[in-house]
Amino acid sequence: MREPSDRPPYPKSLDLARDRSLTIEWDDGVRSVIPLADLRKACPCAECRGRREAAPAAGEGLPVIGRQADLSTQTTAASAELVGHYALRILWQDGHDTGIFEFALLRRLGEAT
């Protein structure tokens, strides 16, 4: 068991199943499995945030994800890379790559699933 500290949890490992989910093993023993559709829906880039904020009330589906025909490319990861020691950038199959997912956001998303 890890001693309590003021430091937030940090990923020990990241495993990207490009057509399914991101699995994170955290240094405090927690394991998060985040579906890629949830990650894309929560993309923190300015464009996606703006679309979410402009979207009408709930019930409209996934505000960032477009037409059903595009769904598979929008929720399939082509690759991912670490950004410094604080975040992960995902390049989506449709070319979108401006969202930088800070580890704190990934932890919150993992707790929500």
In a domain, 70, yes or no: yes
- Burial string for 61-93 (b: 16+ CB within 10 Å, else e) reads eeebbeeeeeeeebbbbeebeeeeeebbebebb
Q: Using one digit for the tens of pLDDT, what is the confidence trace for 72-111?
A: 788 999 999 999 999 999 999 999 999 999 999 999 999 9
Q: How far is CA 78 from CA 4, 38, 74, 75, 82, in A?
A: 37, 16, 10, 10, 14
pTM of this structure: 0.81
The domain total for the chain is 1
Report the alpha-carbon distance of residue 62 to residue 6 in Å, rounded. Answer: 35
In a domain, 2, yes or no: no
In a domain, 5, yes or no: no
